[in-house]
Every structure is written in C-alpha cells, then in structure tokens.
Amino acid sequence: MASWRLCQLFYRALPRNAAAPRTVYLNRSVLRAMSVGGIPTDEEQATGLERKTLQAMKKGLDPYSILKPKSYLGTKEDPHIVPSINKKRIVGCICEEDNSAIIWFWVHEGPAHRCPSCGAHYKLEHHELPH
C-alpha cells in the first residue's frame, strides 16, 4: 500500500510529457551488446573523428598527435621533428627541464633550425591530416 502511494507521488512529480509513450532508437552496437549481454567496446560505439583515430591507432599511427611525441636528442644528427601542415611553425623550447621560461621561435621548412638559447636542433616535417 505504501509503495503504491509512493508511485503516485512520483507520477505526479514527473513532467506531463514524461509519461507519454516514446520511440527509442537503438544503434547496432547497443543492440548487439543487449543480445550478447555485454557492454559495447570503445571501437564499437565510437563514431566520426574518434572512430578514425581509433582505427589509425590500431595501425600504429597517430594522425592527430594525441600521444606524447617521440623524444629526440636535439642534436644535428637527431633533431626534434616538428610536424606541420604549413611551411613554418612556431616552436616553444624549454631549454632545461626545470625552466619556467619558454623560448619561442619559428621553424621553417628546409634545414634544421637551432634554439637561440640552448642550441637544440629542430626540423620541420610536412604532415598531412587524414581528412
């Protein structure tokens, strides 16, 4: 009896259209999860840019520079690689690990550039976005 009264109170508390019948559309991954009894994985429920990124990461690619960049020595033989969709890009060099100041400079296409403060080498490489 008390639970019936509680239900009546909840029903009155709902907005008017909440009790109206609704059509619910489920996508394929949700239906699959319901039929198999599991929760869909990221790959099953990802769409758009997230899906493209997940597919690229399966192949070992990082088209949107999501992951931490590979570390380079910064020498002439192993310069820091700066990916860019243009012919130049601004770079901020934290010359020493504990520095609070960042040295900003342009890196242009062509031979490696050097940081004006510490002398580390930076080389621009053309990068195509996958869309």
Binding residue numbers: 93, 95, 115, 118
Residue 74 C-beta: closest distance to Zn ion, Å: 8
Specify the residue, 111 or 130, whose C-beta has the smaller distance to Zn ion.
Answer: 111
Specify the residue, 31 or 118, whose C-beta has the smaller distance to Zn ion.
Answer: 118
Q: Which tokens go with 35?
A: 């039929």
| CB atoms inside a 10 Å sphere around CB 14 | 9
Task: Enumerate residues 6+ apart whose C-beta is below 8 A from 66.
Answer: 53, 57
Stretch that binds Zn ion, among 46-54, 62-70, 82-90, 108-116 (CB under 5 A): 108-116
* Out of 115, 121, 122, 124, the residue judged to bind Zn ion by CB under 5 A: 115
* Out of 46, 62, 117, 127, the residue judged to bind Zn ion by CB under 5 A: 117
Instruction: Please say whether the dihedral angle defined by the alpha carbons of residues 51, 53, 56 and 58, taken in this order, is positive or negative.
Output: negative
| CA 52/CA 46 separation, integer angstroms | 9
**Site map for Zn ion, 64-103, x if CB under 5 A?**
-----------------------------x-x--------
| CA 45/CA 81 separation, integer angstroms | 34
Told to check if 107 binds Zn ion by CB under 5 A, we report: no
Q: Which tokens go with 83?
A: 């990916």
**Interacting residue ranges for Zn ion, rule: CB under 5 A:** 93, 95, 115, 117-118, 120
